[in-house]
A and B are shown apart, each in its own frame.
Chain A
Amino acid sequence: MSDSLAPDIAEQLRELDGGRPAGVTALLVAAAGPALPAELAGEESALRAFRLARRARRKRRRAGLIAGVAVVVASLGGTGYAAAGDHLPGPVQHTVESLFDGQDAAPSTVPGAAGRPATAPAPAPPASWSPPGRVEALCRAWEAARADPHAAQVTGEDRRALAHAASGDTGINDFCRAVLGTPYVTTATAANGRQGTAKPGNADPGGGPNRTHPVKPSHP
Chain B
Amino acid sequence: MTALAETCPTPFAHGAARRAAEAAALDDRLGAALTGAIAGDAVAFTELWRALQPLVLRYLRVVCGDAAEDVASETWLQASRDLSRFSGDTTAFRVWLFRIARNRGIDENRRAWRRREEPHETVHDVGEAAGAVARDAALDAGDRSGTEWALRMIRTLPAEQAEAVMLRVVAGLDVAGTAQVLRKRPGAVRVATMRGLRRLAEHPEVQAHRDTDPREGS
Interface residue ranges, A against B (CB under 8 Å): 1-14, 16-17, 19-40, 42-43, 45-47, 49-54, 56-57
Contacts and interface: CB of A to CB of B under 8 A. Distances in A.
B214 to A, nearest CB: 4
Nearest to B8: A10
The number of chain B residues touching the other chain, given as a range, is: 35 or more
Contacts of A34: 145, 218
B191 to A, nearest CB: 12
A31 B150 contact: yes
A4 B19 contact: yes
Contacts of A19: 9, 11
Interface stretch (B53-61, B96-104, B109-117, B118-126): B53-61
Contact of A30 (B76, B142, B150): B150
B192 interface: no
Contacts, number: 196
Interface of B: 1-5, 7-13, 16, 19-20, 23, 37, 40, 42, 45-46, 49-50, 53-55, 57-58, 69, 72-73, 76-77, 80-81, 84, 138-139, 141-143, 145-147, 149-151, 153-154, 165-166, 168-172, 174-175, 190, 193-194, 197-198, 200-201, 206-207, 209-215, 218
B153 A27 contact: yes
Contacts of A32: 169-170, 172
A26 B209 contact: yes
Nearest to A32: B170
A145 B210 CA distance: 107
Given A20-B210, A40-B53, A14 B200 contact: no
Interface of B is mostly: helix
A19 B81 CA distance: 46
Contact of A40 (B54, B149, B151): B54
Contact of A22 (B2, B200, B213): B213
8 closest cross-chain pairs (CB), A and B: A4-B4, A30-B146, A31-B150, A7-B5, A53-B80, A30-B150, A35-B54, A6-B2
28 contacts: A2-B169, A6-B168, A7-B4, A10-B4, A11-B8, A20-B11, A21-B213, A22-B209, A22-B214, A25-B12, A26-B146, A26-B210, A26-B212, A27-B200, A31-B150, A31-B166, A31-B169, A34-B145, A34-B218, A38-B138, A39-B58, A42-B69, A43-B50, A46-B46, A46-B49, A49-B76, A50-B45, A50-B49
Nearest to A39: B54
B21 to A, nearest CB: 10
Given A27-B200, A31-B151, A35-B54, A4 B10 contact: no
Nearest to B144: A36
Contact of A37 (B142, B171, B174, B194): B142
Contacts of B194: 12
Nearest to B78: A53
A1 B12 CA distance: 14
Given A35-B54, A47-B45, A10 B149 contact: no
A10 B168 CA distance: 11
Given A28-B169, A36-B143, A9 B197 contact: yes
Contacts of B201: 16-17, 23-24
